[in-house]
Chain A
Amino acid sequence: MSATTDPGAPAQATPDPDVARSRMWTSRLREAAVRSLPPEKLLPDTQPSYVASWVYVFGVLTLAALAVIIASGTILVLKGPSWWHLSKAGLFMNSIHLWSVELFMFFMVLHLWGKFFMAAWRGKRALTWMTGVVSFLLSIGAAFTGYISQQNFDSQWISTQAKDGLNSVGVGAFFNVLNFGQMLLWHVLLLPVVVVVIVALHLLLVRRRGVVRPLPLPAHRRSVSRETSPGHEQVVTAAAAATPTGGTTGSPLGAGPADKTS
C-alpha cells in the first residue's frame, strides 16, 4: 500500500489566534457593547438643536443632586450616628443630605413633567421611560426609609402611620417599618445601589437612543404621523445630529426647523 494523502480528509491547519480570540466571551461582549453603544454615542460632543432648552437641564440637575446625596450619605455612613446627631459638622452634613434629596425629588418631578409632555417614550424609547419610572419609585422608597431613619419624633410618627398602610397590603412581614435596623440597611445599602444601577441604565439608554425629537406642530402632525415609525424616527434623529441643518428647534413641546448646536 502506498502512502498517499486522502484529498477528502480535513486539513490539519494550525488554529488562527484571531479566530480563537473572537470566540472568547470577553471579546464577544466587548464587540456587542461597542456595537450597541459606540464611543461617539456614549460621550457625544454635539446634540440636536432642540436640546437647547432649559427643560433638558432638569435631568442633569437631578443627576447632580444624586451625586451630592451619594457623597453626603457616604460621609454620614463613615462618621456614624453620634457624629451626625451631636456635632455641628455632622448636623450640617445631615442637612446637606436632606436638602439634596429635596432638590433631587424636585428636579426629578420637573424632568418627569417635561418628558411626559414630550411623549419621550416614542422611537423605541419605552425602556428608557420605564427605567425612569422605576428609578422614581425606588427613589421614593429610598427617601421614605431615610425619613424613618432619622431617630426623632418625626420618624416615629411616619413609621407608625406607614406600618398600617404597609400591613394592609401584606408587605409588613418582610418590610417592617418599625424595625429600625432593617430600615437603615435598606436606606444605606440596598436601595441606593439599586437606584444608582437603574439610573446608570437609564443614562446608557438615553445615550443609545438619543434625545427624543419634539412633537410635531399640529399643522404637520398628520403628515409626520404617516412617516414616523419608531425606526424612522431614530434615523431622523441621527441625521439631525450628523448634519448642521438637519435638526429642529423651538419649544421642545412643538418643533420648527433650525440648525443644531453644540
Chain B
Amino acid sequence: MTAALIDLDHVGHYLHWGFIQLSVANAVIIGLMVVIFVVAIALPFRAGHRARRGGR
C-alpha cells in the first residue's frame, strides 16, 4: 500500500486554550474555510456573456 502523504501512525497533535482543546487537523481545516470564505467575497466573479452585451 502506498504510504500516506502525512504520517498518521502516531498520536495526534492538539492545541489547548484553557478548557478548549482542538486538534491541529481540525484547526487547519477551519483556517482553510475562513481563507476560502474571505477569498470568495473578495475575488471578482466573471459575469456571463449575455450580461456583458448589455441587459439580458
Query: Which of A72-80, A108-116, A162-170 interfaces with chain B?
Result: A108-116
Interface residues on A, range: 20 to 34
Check A253 for interface membership: any CB of B closer than 8 A.
yes
Question: What are 28 A-to-B residue pairs whose CB atoms are below 8 Å?
Answer: A46-B56, A49-B51, A52-B51, A53-B41, A53-B45, A54-B45, A55-B40, A57-B40, A58-B40, A106-B29, A109-B33, A110-B33, A110-B37, A113-B37, A114-B37, A244-B54, A244-B56, A251-B41, A252-B41, A253-B41, A260-B51, A260-B56, A261-B48, A261-B51, A262-B47, A262-B48, A262-B50, A262-B56
**Chain B interface, >50% SS class:** helix
Distance (whole angstroms) from the CB of B11 to the closest CB of chain A: 14
User: Hey, which chain B residues are within 8 Å of A233, CB to CB?
Assistant: none
Is B55's beta carbon under 8 Å from chain A?
Answer: yes
Q: A52-B45, A54-B40, A253-B41 are contacts. A259–B33 as well, Cβ < 8 Å?
A: no
Give residues of chain B (15-56) contacting chain A, Cβ–Cβ below 8 Å.
Answer: 29, 33, 36-37, 39-41, 43, 45, 47-51, 54-56
Residues of B within 8 A of A114 (CB): 37, 40
Q: Tell me whether B47 and A261 are in contact (CB under 8 A).
A: yes
Please, which residues of chain B bring their CB within 8 A of the CB of A260? 51, 56
Bound-complex Cα distance A58 to B39 (A):
12
Which of A46, A110, A252 contacts B36 (CB under 8 A)?
A110
Interface set of A (CB-CB < 8 Å, partner B): 46, 49, 52-55, 57-58, 106, 109-110, 113-114, 244, 251-253, 259-262
A109 to B26 CA separation, bound complex (whole angstroms):
14
- Tell whether A262 pairs with B43 under 8 Å between CB atoms, given A46-B56, A110-B37, A244-B56: no
Residues of A contacting B37 in the complex (Cβ-Cβ under 8 angstroms): 55, 110, 113-114
Q: Which one, B39, B41, B51, contacts A259 given CB within 8 A?
A: B51
| A202: min CB distance to chain B, Å | 20
Give CA–CA (A114, B24) in the complex, Å. Answer: 25
A109 and B29 alpha carbons, distance in the complex (Å): 12
Q: In the docked arrangement, what's the CA distance between A240 and B3, Å?
A: 55
Measured between alpha carbons, how far is A57 from B45 in the docked complex, in Å?
10
- Interface centre among B45, B49, B56, by most A CB within 10 Å? B45
